[in-house]
Structure 1
Amino acid sequence: MNEINKIYQQHVTHELKLVSNPDHAILNKDKVEAKVLAFLCELGKFGEEAHIFSFWDNSSTNSKDLIDYYIDGLHMLMSIGFELHVDNLKNYQEINDQISIANQLIKVYQNALKINETYTFEAFQNCVDDYFTLGFKAGIDFDTILENYIKE
């Protein structure tokens, strides 16, 4: 099992413990919408803490807060996958591209909105891939992501 899928399967196990509604098999678009909004909120907090768009802020980045915001966003993203009834995630392959971290943040926002429009696995997988790329561009390595995700 690939590492990203391990994170997702751990989240699914957690969500299944919380779900007592037998009608969960029906796609609840309102829940997806609410979780996409929550994800976008966490994404904004991450972007602000990483100083991606707040170039006027000269304070230093608190790496603990940065990782916490990132992991909170990852939890929400995995929760969206649960609502979409995603079975497995593809293994992430880091793409060495030249887009700026600001454009990467915008790309993740756009992908999240695409999830909300289409409710498709492809939109979700693209958002997951781009979210991990964003974390890597911000200097967070996969082992740190995995370690902090498992802690929560």
Structure 2
Amino acid sequence: MNEINQLYQKHVEHELTLSQTKENALLHKDKVEIKILAFLSDLGNVADQSQCFSFWDKYAKVDSNELKEAYINGLQMLLSVGFELHVDALKNQIELENNLSLPQQFLKVYESVLKIKTTFNFEDYQNSIEDYFSLGAKLGFSFEDILAQYQHTFR
């Protein structure tokens, strides 16, 4: 099983312990939309912590621990969106790097997540996951860093 799917399966187990109702078989579009909104809020927090748009403050200091924590909070919410969409498994991504700037990558994540809101399909969700992990790479986080921090969150 690939690492991204392992991470997602761990999150599904966590979600299932939180919601022990039989309603889980239904797609609740309202819940998906609310979780997308929560994710976008988390994404904004990651952007704020990264200081990538603070060109007017050349001395803005980035706290890498707070940045990583904000990123993991966003990852948790994005995985929660997948749970609401009833995603069974995630594909492993081959390449994280691209030639977008950090602000462009934030916008790409934003756009790909908003697309889920209209389509509710797996391919758009998978693209959002890949875009978010690419953002993590641009922020300087290796997949191993993300996995370790995420697993630490659920201990």
Query: Same fold, TM exceeding 0.5?
Result: yes
Correspondence for 1:78: 79
* Paired amino acid for 2:65: K
Correspondence for 1:65: 66
* Paired amino acid for 1:96: E
Distance 2:105 2:97 in 1: 12
* C-alpha contact 2:96 2:130 (8 A) present in aligned 1: no
Give, in angstroms, the shift of residue 52 of structure 1.
Answer: 1.7
Per-residue CA distance 1:52-89 (angstroms, 9 max, x = gap) = 22222322100000000000000000000000000000
* C-alpha contact 2:49 2:66 (8 A) present in aligned 1: yes
TM-score, reference length from structure 1 = 0.96
Correspondence for 1:34: 34
Give, in angstroms, the shift of residue 95 of structure 1.
Answer: 4.3
Correspondence for 1:127: 128
Give, in angstroms, the shift of residue 24 of structure 1.
Answer: 1.4
Distance 2:14 2:125 in 1: 19
Correspondence for 1:87: 88
Distance 2:142 2:96 in 1: 14
Structure 2 runs not aligned, ≥5 long: none
* Paired amino acid for 2:138: K
Correspondence for 1:19: 19
Per-residue CA distance 1:18-74 (angstroms, 9 max, x = gap) = 112212111001100110001000101101111122222322100000000000000
Structure 1 runs not aligned, ≥5 long: none
Correspondence for 2:110: 109
Give, in angstroms, the shift of residue 96 of structure 1.
Answer: 3.5
Distance 1:94 1:52 in 2: 23
Distance 2:66 2:131 in 1: 21
Distance 2:74 2:55 in 1: 22
* C-alpha contact 2:42 2:73 (8 A) present in aligned 1: yes
TM-score, reference length from structure 2 = 0.95
Q: Which runs of 4+ in 1 moved over 4 A?
A: none
When structure 1 is superposed on structure 2, of 96-105 and 22-31 the one drifting more is 96-105
- Pair 1:95–1:147, CA change in 2 (3 A): closer
* Percentage of pairs with the same residue: 50
Number of matched pairs:
152
SS of 1:16's partner is: helix
Give, in angstroms, the shift of residue 101 of structure 1.
Answer: 1.2
Distance 1:95 1:48 in 2: 22
* C-alpha contact 2:97 2:138 (8 A) present in aligned 1: no
Give, in angstroms, the shift of residue 140 of structure 1.
Answer: 0.9
